[in-house]
Amino acid sequence: MSTLLVLGGTSWLGGAVARHARDAGHDVTCLARGSSGSVPDGVTWVTGDRDDPAAAYTEVASRDRDAVVDVARQPVHVRGALDALAARAGHWLFVSTCSVYADNGTPGADESAALHEPWVGPDPLALAPDEEYGPAKVACEQAVLAARPDALVARSGLIVGYGDRSDRFGYWPARFARAAGSPHRDVDGEVLLAPRDQALQVVDVEDFAAWLVRCAADRTGGVVNAMSPSLTLGDLYDACAAALDGPPPAAAEPSDGWLQGREVTPWMGPDSLPLWLPQPEYAGFMTRDVAAAEQAGLTFRPLAEIVRASLAWERERGLDRDRRAGLTPAYEAELVTAWRAEAPGTSPVSAPVPTA
C-alpha cells in the first residue's frame, strides 16, 4: 500500500482520483474545504482552505507521501502546496489543461507547441479571474516543474462522463433523447447540429482518474496531452442516436459558415451550441497529438459507453432542466427556421444508427 494525497477530492475529478486510489488499495487522504461535497467513503478528509497557504497544509505537511495529485487552477494554491509538501512527496502529479496552448489553429500539435504567457497577479496571493484560465494554468505548470522537474503534468482535454456538471458534452445525448422520446415532436422540433466533420477530443473522467493513479504508483513523469485520439462530432451524434430506444430524431445540419454568420455562441455558455468550434480558428483545438499519453498508458473507453453514462446522468438531473450550456428550445427553433428559409429545398435528416 502507498500513501496518496489528493489536493481536492470533494469535486468531480478529485473525487474520482481518490476513489480509484482507494479501490487500488492505497492509503488516501484528501485536503479540501468541502464546499463541493464530501470525499469518498474510506478516504481520510482533512479540511483546509488553500486561499490561506500559511495554514492550509499544517495537518498534512507532517508526514511523507508517496505521491501528491493537485488539480488546482490558481497559481497561489499550487505554489503554496509545493512550498509545504514537495520535499516530502515521492512523486508529484499536476492536472493542467490544453487551454495552456497559445495556438488553437494548427492541427496535430504536440506538447512542444507554444504556450500562453503565464498569468501574473497584482500580488502573490491574488486569484486569477476565469478569463485567465489558460495563462493561470501555465503559471501553475511553471511552478510545478521548477520545484519538481520529475512531475507529471497532464494537460487534459474536455473531461466528460457521469457526473459532468458543465452541460457541454451531456447536452447532446440529452437533446437527442428529449427529441426522440417526446410525444410532442412539433414542440421539441429538429435537433440543430454543428458540422459532423468537426474534430472532437475528450477524456472520460473514470479513464483519466484511473490513469493518474497508475502514474502515481509508477512515478510516471513528463508533460502529456491527456485526451483521446481525434473523433468527430458525427461520431458523437451517431453514438447519441444509438443510445435511444426509438428512432433517431430529425436533424438540421447548417454549415460552419452559416453558424458563424448567425453569431451562434460556440463551445459553452447559455444559448450556445456546445462543442461547436468555429473553423479554421480552432482547427487544432481538438486535434492535438496524443502519442505521449498513449505511450504513458492512458486508455480510452468507447465513445458509445461514455454517451450511455452521460445520458444516465442527464436523465437523473432532468432532460428538461435549465442548463449551463446549450440552446434553449425557442432559440434552437428560431435558428432551424432561419436556416430552412435561407437554404430552400433542404429537408430534415435523421442521424444514422451505426451497425457496429
Q: Does residue 209 fall inside a structural domain?
A: no
The owner of cell 428550445 is: 329
* 247 and 340 in a common domain: yes
d(CA 96, CA 114): 15
* 323 and 192 in a common domain: yes
Q: Does residue 208 fall inside a structural domain?
A: no
* 91 and 61 in a common domain: yes
Domain range for residue 243? 165-200+231-285+303-350
Measured in degrees and rounded to the nearest 5, phi and psi for residue 76 equal: -65, -35
d(CA 209, CA 272): 29
* 126 and 196 in a common domain: no
Query: Which grid coordinates are listed for 291?
Result: 502519442
d(CA 286, CA 232): 9
pLDDT confidence band for 264 (50 / 70 / 90): very high
* 270 and 152 in a common domain: no
C-alpha count within 13 angstroms, C-beta hemisphere, residue 55 = 6
Q: What is the DSSP string of 65-78?
A: BSEEEE----HHHH
Q: What is the pTM of this model?
A: 0.93
> Is residue 221 over pLDDT 60?
yes
Last residue of a domain, one of 93, 125, 156: 156
* 184 and 149 in a common domain: no
d(CA 165, CA 175): 15
Q: Does residue 356 fall inside a structural domain?
A: no
* 269 DSSP assignment: S
> Is residue 104 over pLDDT 50?
yes
Domains in the chain, number? 2
Residue 152: enclosing H or E segment and its boundaries?
strand 152-156
Q: Does residue 120 fall inside a structural domain?
A: yes
* 181 and 112 in a common domain: no
d(CA 301, CA 214): 16
pLDDT confidence band for 1 (50 / 70 / 90): low
* 253 and 148 in a common domain: no
* 23 and 81 in a common domain: yes
Q: What is the pLDDT of residues 147-183, one digit of tens each?
A: 999 999 999 999 999 999 999 999 999 999 999 865 5
Residue 294: burial class (beta carbons within 10 Å; 0-12, 13-18, 19+): middle
* 187 and 109 in a common domain: no
Q: Does residue 338 fall inside a structural domain?
A: yes
The CATH number of the domain holding residue 67 is 3.40.50.720
**Whole-Å CA distances, 317 to 162, 184, 215, 237, 283:** 11, 21, 33, 21, 33
Last residue of a domain, one of 95, 130, 156: 156
* 141 and 181 in a common domain: no
At 321 the pLDDT is 94
pLDDT confidence band for 54 (50 / 70 / 90): confident
Coil, strand or helix: which one is 97?
Answer: strand
* 173 and 100 in a common domain: no
